[in-house]
Structure 1
Amino acid sequence: MGIARSKPDQNRPEKLAAFDRLLTVMDELRENCPWDKKQTIESLRHLTIEETYELSDAILEGDLMEVKKELGDIMLHLVFYSRIAQEKGVFDVADVLNGICEKLIYRHPHIYSDTQVENEEEVKANWEKLKLKEKGNKATSVLGGVPKSLPAMVKAMRIQEKARGVGFDWDDKEQVWDKVQEEIGEFKEEADQGNKEEALNEFGDVLFSMVNYARFIGIDPEEALERTNKKFIKRFQYLEAESQKDGKQMGEMTLEEMDQYWERAKKL
């Protein structure tokens, strides 16, 4: 199957030079900086997670210049891991890059082979099926590739997407909404009866079904909740600042007084 040629990238030499510069800087830091020399794959792990969340914040804020900065931090970490592995004689950055290229080519047979697809859903389905066939893939389940340490809401979304990839899903959003209402009813019943353990389980079912419905209508539940978090913080901080200007103290006002500031904040 022929592949459509991409337009020549006039800046490719500049990009390759920039990546080569990063590799050089990484080598110099690893060999000469006491802090960089001390780092291990394990010690970098929590820093990488932090950088990823900072990138996520920048994306949610729509701050592309900050996105650029955070991408640089993450790129440094990727090169750092590769350099450490190179020292151990396990792999180097070339192995990493060639590995992802080979995987992308293998998992896109509709581009690099003669597989025919009609839409995005078929691409996703092929992706999941090919993952299970890959030599050396230890996952025996479609869900085996979902990281255990993912935040629960993100994990729920990934679980549902992977199940859909092999055809295990509802037919339409109305069925999902019926399930949401069913789960809310079951949660309310257990909560009203004071069955804390059962209410906990049912609340999890409510959240899982709500994530499912969000997925069906094209909403990212993690992004939606984070937007609400940011909105609440902004309004609450307005309440704090404006009430202080009026000589009032948080914790000493009535709910009615605080609600007046809250309503004003909602209009901003």
Structure 2
Amino acid sequence: MRAVHEKCVWTQQMTHEALLPYLIEEAHELVDAVERGSQDDLREELGDLLWQVLFHSEIAARAGQFSIDHVAQDLADKMIRRHPHVFAGETAQTPEQVLVLWNAAKAAEKRERTSVLDGVARSMPALAYAQKVLGKASSVGVVAPVLPLALESEHDLGLALLALTAMARERGWDAEALLRAEVHRVEDQVRETEAPPA
């Protein structure tokens, strides 16, 4: 890793900001590999995503900020703190109880947060962001909009999408995955249409 950073001119010029498009692209390629079910692709894409973590850590190390060793140690420490039912004296018999302990540990770590929305990544895809925000909103009693009867403006369409996302969240459905699956069906139809006649 260090040899690449020391000898590659392109690599030496990279910044955290310049790498963001590659990080996002690699994350999406990993999602594709999981959905395709190919173990070879999954292995490759996990490596590509890991490379991004290593690359960002190397940029930080060059700037004298932190190294990959710090990143790994921070992660290990966090996992120990957030699993008190494994590493401390707490008890959790169900996944729901684990989540309660996880959230309590996270709240203790993030005392500076003043809103349930603090820490929600605004750069997530829109539907994933909407689902996350709706979940946080419901925890403080903010009710999601209902589906308007008429869609006469872009605003109405936005409200309709938000209401549909709320309905999916209430039913335990993954709106982003459902939308992606429907887009995949359209892709299949396009490919069938483009295929030469047999």
TM-score by length of 1: 0.66
The residue aligned with 1:50 is 25
Larger Rg: 1
* Cα distance between partner residues in 2 of 1:168 and 1:121: 19
Cα deviation, 1:180-216, whole Å, max 9, x if unaligned, reads: 9x933xx22x32xx3x25523431332222321342x
Cα deviation, 1:148-180, whole Å, max 9, x if unaligned, reads: 10012112333355567xx668xxxxxxxxx99
Alpha carbons of structure 1 residues 201 and 233: separation in structure 2 relative to 1, 3 Å: closer
Alpha carbons of structure 1 residues 163 and 101: separation in structure 2 relative to 1, 3 Å: farther
The residue aligned with 1:105 is 80
TM-score by length of 2: 0.87
Question: Which amino acid is the alignment partner of residue 49 of structure 1?
Answer: I
Aligned length: 197
Match of 1:36 among 4, 7, 11: 11
Segments of 4+ in structure 1 off by > 4 A? 160-164
The residue aligned with 2:161 is 204
Tell me, which stretches of 5 or more residues in structure 1 are unaligned?
A: 1-25, 170-178, 247-268
Question: Please, what is the CA RMSD of the aligned residues?
Answer: 2.6
* Cα distance between partner residues in 2 of 1:98 and 1:162: 29
Cα deviation, 1:73-123, whole Å, max 9, x if unaligned, reads: 111111111111111111111110000111111111111111222311122
The residue aligned with 2:39 is 64
* Cα distance between partner residues in 2 of 1:154 and 1:183: 19
**Secondary structure of residue in 2 paired with 1:142:** coil
Identity over aligned pairs, percent? 30
The residue aligned with 2:121 is 147
Match of 1:231 among 175, 185, 189: 185
- Matched ranges for 1:176-195 at <5 A: 183-184=146-147, 187-188=148-149, 190-191=150-151, 194=152
- Matched ranges for 1:76-115 at <5 A: 76-115=51-90
C-alpha displacement of 1:58? 1.0
**Secondary structure of residue in 2 paired with 1:114:** coil
C-alpha displacement of 1:70? 0.6
Q: Which has the higher contact order (CA 8 A, sep 6+)?
A: 1
